Amino acid sequence: MSLRIPRNAQRVFYATESTTRTKPDGTVIRVAGREQRSTTFREAKAFLDGLGVPGGVTVWTERSQQTNAYADRHADGTWWALDRLTGTQVPLPDPEKRH
């Protein structure tokens, strides 16, 4: 799935699949797999949910010219985000389970 990102986009979300590889010495390392650029978090989340794999979403903003962690998808399908005030991981609510 390829999405066209507008040239003047102020935010770009990068969804990246997390995979592991084993080095010849037996050390397991985490490497990036498939990636998709999106204009919304919903599209990035749908990409990783569609693959059914763990991964992460980062966001690039035009104003700061920086990329920051946004949310992580764990292997069990739950989504977690970093609470920047406390430095802890907090679960993201599932919008389909809201009333």
Domain assignments of the chain as residue spans, ordered by start: 11-92
In angstroms, the CA 23 to CA 81 distance is 30
Q: What is the pLDDT of residue 20?
A: 80
78 has a pLDDT exceeding 70: yes
Q: Quote the strand ranges of the chain, DSSP E.
A: 11-22, 28-38, 55-61, 66-73, 79-83, 88-91
- pLDDT, tens digit, 9 for 90 and up, residues 21-67: 888 999 988 777 889 999 999 999 999 999 998 999 999 999 999 99
Percent of the chain at pLDDT exceeding 90: 52
- For the entire predicted model, the pTM comes to 0.79
What confidence tier does 75 reach under pLDDT thresholds 50, 70, 90? confident
- What does R_g of the chain's alpha carbons equal in angstroms? 15
In angstroms, the CA 16 to CA 89 distance is 18
